[in-house]
Structure 1
């Protein structure tokens, strides 16, 4: 048997120790990264790693794991290496054509669900859907809703389509569009977006995972506010009277985003903080009469 009181060099315990050390210089979560990648290679859970630390993976599994660790050492995000990331307790396919889902964005879901009664039909549009996490999650949580998800990228829409099929959300309609350009529908109860909002001079663009993510989904002119302003302007022609606009933005953009909403005559403009206490989403009510 491969397991023994004295684990071999190829045991889970030793493989993780070596990988954690190798990644320590490039990741603040080195051991976690190693565990996630080894789970991916073994098709096992982290519980398995802890229960069987002396287990020796096959040579093919070890080779795959070491190859992934090498890519991670060069900075490739774990989500792109495994091809998936969890969001709102569902597993979504991700790849370099789309942004990696982040916990902060779940705030958009929380706020949206509070605005949409579960037993009431509603119309939702998610602008710049990427992998489809917002549109698909809302479609799953509110099955009576009709959800449109737009993106300018055909590659992103393909990923979103695969996620919608995998998660069996038949109430999502995908549309290639730059924001509202190709959207003819009106009277949406909710317009939601996590648009590009990083200024192109922001030093964070050269750090961490964002180095590998699509820049078109990250960067916006005018100090990161161009696309937020455009969405807020266009949404007025597509929201129903009493509909809501929710936009995610940077932690330091609360005041200018509120100013944009207010200047465009949205009411009840409010900014909501994420789990880290950072201003993350601004909401507004469209009620012209």
Structure 2
């Protein structure tokens, strides 16, 4: 065993990944940990004791050809939970945690009892909220059966299957409310907008929303007044340039609206409450 084998391999991988990733060192560490079957923290603590596993080179090659880290490892951490992800779902991103943060601020010391997640995908938002509020129950709606299978498996693995129900649906059509908390992450990319990076590997139906990126917001907004319970709220993810346009669509339904920014300072979440 060579004492510096893994540190050297991580440095070399980081150099190679710098051409394809904004986070090359993190990517290298996550791939190494996955190849070893360890958590990243355990790998870093033990890196001078271990040999570079045989499978690391193949994982690195996949990342160098553009495969997202989450698709290579099959998992992604989000809020306080770890989720299985597949190419059938969007990869949960830290930006989306802005919606959970908005909900935590809104409810303060009380907890929502009922949660609706429209466009649930992997179940990330709903399951993160259920982890935050252990007494709550929630429903996840998605138009994709393969995505719902991923969400259901995540709920079972996180021991939340008794509190999370999932079903095929067309946004809020046929959904009876109200709910204390709505979490909504619709497609919001304009149809002609070019893509790059990990989104090239994600389902297009979860990305594109008409000529201006607002198609699904126009469909969702009219249902919000009947779905938000008194004292409740909706947290709606938006693109960084959509704060004004989505706020106008939601405010037109008679709701009070505010915009919350993500950690990068970009508009990321429209919060809707009863006026």
TM-score if structure 2 supplies the norm length?
0.92
Return closer, same or farther for 1:117/1:123 CA change in 2, 3 Å cut-off: farther
Contact 1:197 1:220 in 2 (8 A): yes
Matches within 5 A, 1:219-234: 219-234=208-223
Q: Which residue of 1 aligns with 2:237?
A: 248
Q: Which residue of 1 aligns with 2:94?
A: 103
**CA RMSD after TM alignment:** 2.0
Q: State how far apart, in whole Å, the 1-side matches of 2:88 and 2:189 are.
A: 18
Matches within 5 A, 1:204-243: 205=195, 207-243=196-232
Return closer, same or farther for 1:286/1:119 CA change in 2, 3 Å cut-off: closer
Q: Which residue of 2 aligns with 1:178?
A: 170
Report whether the alignment pairs 1:147 with 2:138: yes
Return closer, same or farther for 1:144/1:54 CA change in 2, 3 Å cut-off: closer
Which piece of structure 1 moves more, 213-222 or 74-83?
Answer: 213-222
Aligned residues: 274
Report whether the alignment pairs 1:271 with 2:263: no
| Larger-gyration structure (1/2) | 1
Which among 10, 14, 24 is matched to residue 20 of structure 1? Answer: 14
Which among 57, 61, 85 is matched to residue 51 of structure 2? Answer: 57
Q: Which residue of 2 aligns with 1:188?
A: 179
Return closer, same or farther for 1:14/1:273 CA change in 2, 3 Å cut-off: same
Q: Which residue of 2 aligns with 1:70?
A: 61
Return closer, same or farther for 1:70/1:189 CA change in 2, 3 Å cut-off: same
Q: Which runs of 4+ in 1 moved over 4 A?
A: 47-56, 117-121
Q: Which residue of 2 aligns with 1:286?
A: 274
Matches within 5 A, 1:155-174: 155-169=146-160, 170-174=162-166
Q: CA deviation at 1:50?
A: 4.2
Q: What are structure 1's unaligned runs of at least 5 residues?
A: none
Q: State how far apart, in whole Å, the 2-side matches of 1:37 and 1:219 are.
A: 30
Contact 1:122 1:144 in 2 (8 A): yes
TM-score if structure 1 supplies the norm length?
0.88
Which among 226, 247, 259 is matched to residue 248 of structure 2? Answer: 259
Contact 1:119 1:144 in 2 (8 A): no
Q: CA deviation at 1:124?
A: 1.5
